[in-house]
Amino acid sequence: MTASAPLNFDGTSTVPGGFRVRGVPERIIGWDRIGEFAHRPVGLPPEGTPGLEATVFFRHDHPAWSFGAAVAVVTIDRDTGQVRLDRIVAVDDCGNAINPLLVEGQVVGGLAQGIRHAVRPCPRSHRDAVAAQPVGRERHR
Per-residue pLDDT tens over the stretch 35-87: 887 888 777 777 877 888 778 888 888 887 778 888 999 999 999 988 899 99
Identify whether residues 48 and 76 lie together within a single domain. Answer: no
* Residue 1 binned pLDDT confidence (cut-offs 50, 70, 90): very low
Residue 134 has pLDDT above 60, yes or no: no
Residue 134 is assigned to a structural domain of this protein: no
Per the structure, the count of domains in the chain is 2
Q: pLDDT exceeding 70 applies to what percent of the chain?
A: 78
The DSSP code sequence of 55-115 is -------S----EEEEEEEEEE-TTT--EEEEEEEEEEE-SS-SSHHHHHHHHHHHHHHHH
Residue 111 is assigned to a structural domain of this protein: yes
Residue 22 is assigned to a structural domain of this protein: yes
Burial 98-114 (b: 16+ CB within 10 A, else e): eeeeeeeeebeeebeee
Query: Phi and psi dihedrals of 117, rounded to 5?
Result: -70, -25
pTM score of the predicted model: 0.42
For residues 35, 39, 42, 45, the Cα torsion angle rounded to the nearest 10 degrees is 110
Q: What angle do CA 21, 24, 25 make, to 5 degrees?
A: 85
* Confidence at residue 95, expressed as pLDDT on a 0 to 100 scale: 83
Identify whether residues 4 and 49 lie together within a single domain. Answer: yes
Identify whether residues 1 and 50 lie together within a single domain. Answer: yes
Residue 126 has pLDDT above 60, yes or no: no
Residue 17 has pLDDT above 80, yes or no: yes
Residue 114 has pLDDT above 80, yes or no: yes
Identify whether residues 114 and 78 lie together within a single domain. Answer: yes
DSSP state of 50: -
Identify whether residues 42 and 85 lie together within a single domain. Answer: no
Q: How far apart are CA 98 and CA 104, in angstroms?
A: 11
Yes or no: say if 38 and 50 are a contact pair by the CB < 8 Å rule: yes
Identify whether residues 49 and 5 lie together within a single domain. Answer: yes
Residue 91 is assigned to a structural domain of this protein: yes
User: 97 is in which domain, residue-wise?
Assistant: 67-119
